[in-house]
């Protein structure tokens, strides 16, 4: 009898899960270690960014910014994301693997936005990893500007691997 009851409950739960509605949401493409990544921007600490990203305005997110911006704090809830004017952003961490089995303790969907500016007279090229960004900064090709902006951007797909329940997008 217990097995029959359990089977009935499992069938009910699985049919309930299958009947859940879906939403079409805009995602953004970025880069992580040369791999294409897709993420969703849901919240921003500044009104201009919330408008630009069709996201919720959440001013309290700015409270997560560190007092010192010189070095990332490994114990902070924030990670850095490198934003460009003319290319996808570069992410420093992702869930590995995506989903409940993530083992990357450095990953956070809360991003401290760092704008990457190409210096005049330098050859603009696509940067696809944090190492590329930092090497370009060391070479004097780019200047990094903290924007005093925090965004919530969960990663949904890395390469061909998508978060469970998400239909993967084709690779660029």
Residue 69 has what pLDDT?
62
Any idea which of 24-28, 53-57, 93-97, 109-113 has the lowest mean pLDDT?
A: 24-28
- pTM of this structure: 0.83
More confident residue, 17 or 118: 118
pLDDT classification of 72: cutoffs 50, 70, 90: low
Q: What is the pLDDT of residue 76?
A: 79
Cβ–Cβ < 8 Å for 81, 32? no
What token pair was written down for 57? 């305005």
The pLDDT of residue 21: 81
Residue 63 φ/ψ region, left for φ over 0, alpha for ψ in the -120 to 50 degree band, beta for the rest: alpha
165 Cβ partners below 8 Å, 6+ apart?
A: none
Whether the ω angle into residue 77 lies within 30 degrees of 0, i.e. cis, is: no
Burial label, 57 (beta-carbon count in 10 A; 0-12, 13-18, 19+): middle
**What pLDDT, on the 0 to 100 scale, is given for residue 77?**
87
Six-digit token string for 45 = 């600490």
Report, as an integer, the average pLDDT of 127-133.
Answer: 98
Confidence at residue 55, expressed as pLDDT on a 0 to 100 scale? 97
pLDDT at 14 over 80: no
CA distance 16 to 50: 33
pLDDT score of 74? 60
Query: What pLDDT shows up at residue 25?
Result: 87
The answer on pLDDT for 126 being more than 70 is yes
| Residue 6: per-residue pLDDT | 37
Reduced to 3 states (helix: H, G, I; strand: E, B; else coil), residue 42 is: coil
> What are the pLDDT digits (tens) for 17-40?
556 788 888 999 999 999 999 999
Comparing CA positions, the residue from 72, 55, 53, 38 lying closest to residue 146 is: 72
Which is nearest to 24 in space by CA: 36, 40, 37? 40
């Amino acid at each position: 009898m217990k097995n029959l009851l359990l089977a009935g409950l499992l069938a009910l739960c699985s049919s309930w899960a299958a009947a859940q509605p879906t939403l079409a949401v805009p995602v953004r493409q970025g880069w992580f270690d040369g791999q294409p990544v897709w993420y969703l921007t849901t919240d921003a600490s500044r009104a201009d960014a919330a408008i630009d990203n069709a996201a919720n305005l959440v001013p309290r997110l700015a409270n997560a910014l560190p007092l010192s911006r010189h070095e990332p704090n490994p114990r902070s809830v924030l990670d850095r994301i490198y934003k460009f004017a003319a290319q996808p952003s570069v992410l420093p961490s992702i869930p590995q693997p995506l989903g409940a089995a993530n083992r990357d303790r450095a990953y956070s969907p809360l991003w401290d936005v760092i704008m990457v500016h190409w210096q005049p007279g330098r050859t603009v090229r696509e940067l696809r990893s944090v190492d590329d960004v930092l090497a370009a900064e060391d070479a004097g090709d780019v200047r990094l500007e903290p924007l005093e902006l925090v965004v919530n951007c969960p990663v949904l797909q890395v390469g061909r691997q998508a978060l469970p329940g998400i239909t993967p997008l084709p690779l660029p």
